[in-house]
Chains A and B, each alone.
Chain A
Amino acid sequence: MKGVDDGMDAGGASGREVRVENRLLTQAVAALTAQGCRVSVAGSVGEALAFVARVAAGKRRAVLSRGEAGEEIGVAGFLAGQGLSVWRCGETPGKTVQACLEADLGVTGAQAVAVETGTIFLAEEGGEARLVSNLPPTHLVVAGAECLAPDLAGALAMVRRLSRDVYGRPLVRYVSAISGPSRTGDIGMQLVPGMHGPREVAVLLLARTCRTG
């Protein structure tokens, strides 16, 4: 998880910060679950990878968005070890779209999560995360607890800060705010997940202890 609160490392967290994080984590789990996401909070790398394994079970091809998606816990290598063919965006730019169309699992990070609404924010310059999070039928988000914001305004402020600090611009090129799986009610008003986007969104929240553990 890059860019948002880089200055704060896990070892230096005060007791108050840990309490705030824990409260936000609890709320985030409730809100994301209410949006229809599959959610897990991992306190260690082992726990995190166990969740990744459950989400990836039965999948054959994974695409990972450019950058740090799950890098610190080694998601790419782990998925490859599970027998999936793994495509990392940026390797051969011309083939990214095809890879995303063929994949059954897309993995991205998150730059912010609005806890109140259970909304995941992907902010990027390249546009790969848009494809990775929309074309495969399952989307796995690996997000650090430091990107939790209480509400939409807070998440937007994080995106603004990231745009300014990392890219030196008022706003990064693409922002995607995702609240649960793709859905449609267009046939008889019966809500069905997975119209054009993923029918399954899994969110792995990494607690601070993942960094130290």
Chain B
Amino acid sequence: MPKSVFDRRIEAALADVAGAAGRQKALSLICPDIQAARQRHPPLSERLRRIKAESMSRLPELLDQAVTALTVNGCRVFLAADAGAARDYIGGVVQGGVLVKSKTNVGKEIGVDGYLAARGVTVVETDLGDRLNQLDHGTASHPLAPAIHLPLSRVRELLARESGRDLPEDVAELVRAARESLRPHLAGADTGLTGANAIAADTGAVVLMENEGNIRAVTSLPAVHIVVAGITKIVPTLEDAVTVVEAASVFGAGQDLGTYMSVITGPAPEGHPGPREVHVVLLDNGRLRALAGGWGEAFYCINCGGCLNFCPVYRVLGGRFGHRYIGGIGVVQTALTETVAASTDAGLWACLSCGRCTDACPAQIDIPELIGRLRAGIVQERPSIGRRLVRGLLGDQARLSRVLRVVRRLTGPLWEERPARRALRPRLGVSRLLPAPRVRPAVPSAGRAHAVVYAGCLTGTCYPEVGAAALRVLSRHGVAAKWPDREPCCGLPLWNAGDREGACALARRNISFLTAFDGPVLTLCATCGDTLKNFYPRWLAGDPWQEQARRLSGRVRDLTAFLADDLTLGGIAGTDSWPVAYHDPCHLRLGLGVTVQPRRLLQACGRMVETADRCCGFGGPAGWRHYPMAAAVGDEKLARVGAKTLATACPGCMAALTDGLDRLGRAVAVRHVVELVDEAGL
């Protein structure tokens, strides 16, 4: 099969060592600042989400109001239906000469640089990082630190060539040289081009945020200032616009407020310095249609880039994840402003659904959900035979187990736990992350159970010893639990693969299946737990089953939380001092909010050691579709694990971590927390 466009991008990204090093450095510096700034501004995110939700629900009306206010202020407003119309308008205003420019995402969306250059306009980037990339003919490695991948020696070389004199490898000197070489461009430019962080409909004010002062120069020196912005940048009031830039500062840069906020309402009055003309190009390009189609949340985005810093896929792919707009939200925006095909090339199937983006987003955009909806749109149009087959298999774990064991018998050597053998598994149509299926040991079933263990497909078919350990621990503490053998799959694999109908059918089956049991539903798999507890009520919104989904949600408990909280296991440090590293499953930490309980349990088993907060790489269909990328995500996770035992609380993570350790040739045992609890005799 020929490699897809996105697979080729993955290859290029993984080969780009300098880009990766720069990105890692930028992320390691930015992330702690952002985390700290967020703590200082607890209500900001709620405020922003309210403002953006209101703005998107009232957009046609706000657009009219903004156009009127901008026009009254003396701006020339152009509503561009698409990228071509925006380019043509700008081409009509800019007849040649020098155009100085600050960062603009919509500029990228409409391809303004290439268009103007082809028309003989000299385009000069003024943000230092962007300017360095322009001189280097390179691309941005991070929205906040676009040239972080360039080593100091290269920066010196570029600026020395530009300023025509020798320069030392000294950052302050290089900044001074850059300032001096850009100043004449700014002072002599005919046109300034900027984006907008927000546009206030009440006052017709364009609000811009920055740290360098280049935007202030671009908007105050040339005789013509052009603003290009998506119509979705409009918010009701000036105060709302200020909230947008505050949120961008805190969540995007870890600053309380960027150094400069410029509020511009129109051209300079007669007899004063400054632009004689201010043009505001408001770009639709599919946005109104997307809003009407229920995609408004995609445009809550304020382009702060905060999500990227925490996204495991961005960490390994950088700007190659996304298209003109970067990251998962960029994939969504590509689909809405261009085509779904373009979003597929940008990485529609790469998202691991770990949820870090939503957590990092000041507007709390549920990016994995938006990506899932796009996938569903594609899948619905495909023939349904394969889907039906998979749904049937996943509907009953006993059946799934039998089929997998037959497959294993027929293809024996493939299941040896060696990297070379694992690499062959995709030929069977299964992920190389899938461990060898095993027979479930006979476990004594409780007569009158007062809890039910929902172990999940992966536990049941590949890690049955985890389920057995759970039953032993529970029974030691007088909890008679039942582990049924015909439970259906939770449905998340189908949901993530775009088969929402199939996932909802499994949700209903699980609800009725689990209603037959009493007591808490104890999950051993963080993914199943998050799905049963949090996703079912959302999946079945407006469905007659939603009420039952809510009731089930109330019964679902992660097993480690149940053991630590209800049975008060752990807490007291054990006598053993052997180190055991712990990996937080994304669905457990971000989905279920369970973090302290597994740690308390492990502290009683050995000496608990933290690991880097990274995804294992298992999530979503990426392990099937884009294994090299998922593997790179896993490598990041495992890079600094030193302990000989790595514990976690999700069989999906166990599978990916085991594969990663095999790949890296590291002898580390991957265990479920409950296995260690069982062995410690707690």
Please list the residues of chain A having a beta carbon within 8 angstroms of any beta carbon in chain B: 93, 96-97, 101, 117, 119, 125-128, 130-131, 134-135, 152-153, 156, 160, 170-190, 192, 194-198
Name the contact of B257 in the complex, choosing from A97, A130, A152, A189 (C-beta under 8 A): A152
**Residue in B25, B29, B178, B274 with the greatest tally of chain A CB atoms within 10 Å:** B274
Residues of B within 8 A of A177 (CB): 257, 260-263
**Residue in B127, B178, B256 with the greatest tally of chain A CB atoms within 10 Å:** B256
Hey, what's the 0/1 contact readout for B7-41 against A, CB within 8 Å counting as 1?
A: 00000000000000000011001000000000000
Q: Can you name the residue of chain A whose Cβ is closest to the Cβ of B272?
A: A126
Q: How far is the CA of A176 from the CA of B127 in the complex (A)?
A: 18
Nearest CB of chain B from residue A164's CB, rounded to whole Å: 11
Nearest CB of chain B from residue A88's CB, rounded to whole Å: 14
Q: How far is the CA of A119 from the CA of B203 in the complex (A)?
A: 22
Q: Are B26 and A189 in contact (CB under 8 A)?
A: yes
What is the number of residues of chain B that contact chain A, defined by CB distance less than 8 Å? 59
Q: Are A184 and B152 in contact (CB under 8 A)?
A: no
Q: Are A93 and B273 in contact (CB under 8 A)?
A: yes
Nearest CB of chain A from residue B548's CB, rounded to whole Å: 46
Name the contact of A195 in the complex, choosing from B146, B179, B220 (C-beta under 8 A): B179
Name the contact of B259 in the complex, choosing from A93, A97, A125, A183 (C-beta under 8 A): A183
Contact A170:B203 (CB < 8 A) given known A152-B246, A194-B179: yes
Nearest CB of chain B from residue A20's CB, rounded to whole Å: 23
Contact A134:B216 (CB < 8 A) given known A156-B239, A171-B203, A176-B262: yes
Residues of A within 8 A of B179 (CB): 194-196
Q: Are B128 and A130 in contact (CB under 8 A)?
A: no
Query: 18 interchain pairs (CB within 8 A)?
Result: A93-B273, A130-B274, A160-B238, A170-B202, A171-B265, A174-B263, A177-B260, A179-B260, A186-B145, A188-B152, A192-B171, A195-B214, A196-B179, A196-B182, A196-B212, A196-B213, A196-B217, A198-B213
Q: Are A185 and B257 in contact (CB under 8 A)?
A: no
Q: Are A171 and B171 in contact (CB under 8 A)?
A: no
Q: Are A174 and B264 in contact (CB under 8 A)?
A: yes
Nearest CB of chain A from residue B329's CB, rounded to whole Å: 24
Q: Are B220 and A126 in contact (CB under 8 A)?
A: no
Q: Can you name the residue of chain B whose Cβ is closest to the Cβ of A180?
A: B259
Q: How far is the CA of A188 from the CA of B26 in the complex (A)?
A: 8
Name the contact of B216 in the complex, choosing from A93, A176, A183 (C-beta under 8 A): A176
Residues of A within 8 A of B256 (CB): 117, 179
Majority SS of interface residues in chain A? loop
Residues of A within 8 A of B29 (CB): 189
Nearest CB of chain A from residue B399's CB, rounded to whole Å: 55
Nearest CB of chain B from residue A121's CB, rounded to whole Å: 9
**Residue in B73, B175, B214, B219 with the greatest tally of chain A CB atoms within 10 Å:** B175
Q: Are A171 and B205 in contact (CB under 8 A)?
A: yes
Name the contact of A134 in the complex, choosing from B155, B178, B220 (C-beta under 8 A): B220
How many pairs, one residue from A and one from B, have CB atoms within 8 Å of each other in the complex? 163
Q: How far is the CA of A195 from the CA of B217 in the complex (A)?
A: 11
Residues of A within 8 A of B132 (CB): 186-187
Contact A187:B175 (CB < 8 A) given known A173-B266, A195-B214: yes
Nearest CB of chain A from residue B174's CB, rounded to whole Å: 6
By Cβ-Cβ distance, the 3 closest A-B pairs, closest first, are A197-B213, A196-B213, A186-B129
Q: How far is the CA of A184 from the CA of B127 in the complex (A)?
A: 9
Task: Name the interface residues of B257-305: CB closer than 8 Å to any CB of A.
Answer: 257-266, 268-269, 271-274
Nearest CB of chain B from residue A170's CB, rounded to whole Å: 5
Q: Can you name the residue of chain A whose Cβ is closest to the Cβ of B202?
A: A170
Residues of A within 8 A of B175 (CB): 184, 187, 192, 194-195
Contact A135:B217 (CB < 8 A) given known A153-B239, A177-B261, A183-B211: yes
Q: Are A197 and B212 in contact (CB under 8 A)?
A: yes
Nearest CB of chain A from residue B141's CB, rounded to whole Å: 11
Nearest CB of chain B from residue A42's CB, rounded to whole Å: 25
Q: How far is the CA of A152 from the CA of B272 in the complex (A)?
A: 28
Q: Are B262 and A179 in contact (CB under 8 A)?
A: no
Q: Are A189 and B263 in contact (CB under 8 A)?
A: no
Q: How far is the CA of A128 from the CA of B272 in the complex (A)?
A: 7
Q: How far is the CA of A182 from the CA of B260 in the complex (A)?
A: 8
Name the contact of A182 in the complex, choosing from B172, B176, B211 (C-beta under 8 A): B211
User: Does B221 belong to the interface (CB within 8 Å)?
Assistant: yes
Name the contact of A197 in the complex, choosing from B205, B216, B238, B264 (C-beta under 8 A): B216
Residues of B within 8 A of A128 (CB): 272-273
User: Does B187 belong to the interface (CB within 8 Å)?
Assistant: yes
Contact A195:B128 (CB < 8 A) given known A126-B268, A171-B205, A189-B25: yes
Q: Are A188 and B205 in contact (CB under 8 A)?
A: no
